Structure 1
């Protein structure tokens, strides 16, 4: 038994990865292999994920579209709301009448969404959650920041706290229907 434990220790120690006292951050690549570019789909159709609302929670709706949408096109489809078929499934949106424009951030994997109007809404958390979860469902978007008139905008997370930092889907995990 001692020989087996010694052998296991030697194997683990000799795996080529040095021991570290503390964890460190790892940056994953977001390169050509996992980045979709807008344009015609190679096989004819692609899936477009939109996060819609049912009973106060986010639900991913998948639409088949003929080309990979730009981030702006996907945002426009989101603000247009559910199709008749999706409404028949009880899906709605918190973004009706909202004007949004998207631009790439300085970081290659983040986008910034400019929010035009400043109206107070009771479903504000769901509205921002829809945008963040829709855009971060894309392979080429890891985070979403918000601005108004070019200035950083503080928006709510699922827990109600406000931030002007980039948001990710997990900031709204409590609102996502599994």
Structure 2
């Protein structure tokens, strides 16, 4: 009687066992379809993928007193580093909707990229950014705004730790005590010094007027 019961159970389970064995074992080796699906997933993250990458570009908020980062999708182009794509987005300025929400930029619309060079250093990579269209006679607050927007947008991309800003091939930064334009790299340590940097209010010598803080 037990033998008959065992035979009936075996007959009932055979339709389930045969497809499993034909498929190289239940939970065993992957099928061709599985392998193709896995290969497709790997292809999505291939180094030369044309899928967009997301980054943050920095504009100005609160009437230009602080920077504010907004997310952008960068469309990859062959042999174009991410840092250049981000710089292009920065120079394009805020969208109409973003301007309607109070965002602005200190970078004039006519500003163009003359060159962009990335140089690895023993103590971190530097980016040399040469632009055209920035005003030569900009005051300290205007320069601090532009320097902050560029540096905060680029630092961290392509391992960049510092940015040197030029306009038409010449250093474009703040001045030393003798009135000469300095050629110091811009990093987060320098940006900390742009804390509540102000010009004097019109008609006064001591009252703060136009102010800006790089790292609020």
- Return the TM-score normalized by structure 1: 0.62
**Cα distance in 1, alignment partners of residues 98 and 156 from structure 2:** 19
Query: Which deviates further from its counterpart, 68-77 or 48-57?
Result: 68-77
8 Å CA contact retained: 1:136, 1:142 = yes
**Cα distance in 2, alignment partners of residues 134 and 83 from structure 1:** 16
2:134 paired with 1:99:
no
Find the structure with the greater CA-based Rg. 2
- State the partner residue of 1:83: 95
8 Å CA contact retained: 2:76, 2:82 = no
**Cα distance in 1, alignment partners of residues 172 and 167 from structure 2:** 10
Structure 1 unpaired stretches of 5+: 1-37
Deviation of 1:148 (Å): 4.0
- Secondary structure in 2 matching 1:40: coil
Larger relative CO (CA 8 A, sep 6+): 1 or 2? 1
**Aligned-residue RMSD, C-alpha:** 3.0
2:171 paired with 1:156:
no
**Cα distance in 1, alignment partners of residues 181 and 148 from structure 2:** 13
Structure ranking higher in helix proportion:
2
1:151-176 per-residue CA deviation (whole Å, 9 max, x = no partner) reads: 4x15039xxx9631211134223324
- The number of aligned residues is 135
**Cα distance in 2, alignment partners of residues 86 and 137 from structure 1:** 24
Structure 2 unpaired stretches of 5+: 1-46, 196-212
Aligned mate of 1:112, from 115, 128, 135: 128
Q: How does 1:53-64 map to 2 (within 5 A)?
A: 53-54=60-61, 55=63, 56-64=65-73
Deviation of 1:127 (Å): 1.0
Q: How does 1:1-178 map to 2 (within 5 A)?
A: 40=49, 44-54=51-61, 55=63, 56-67=65-76, 70-96=82-108, 97-100=110-113, 101-105=115-119, 107=121, 109-117=125-133, 119=135, 120-122=137-139, 123-138=142-157, 140-151=159-170, 153-156=171-174, 163-173=182-192, 174=195, 175-176=213-214, 178=216
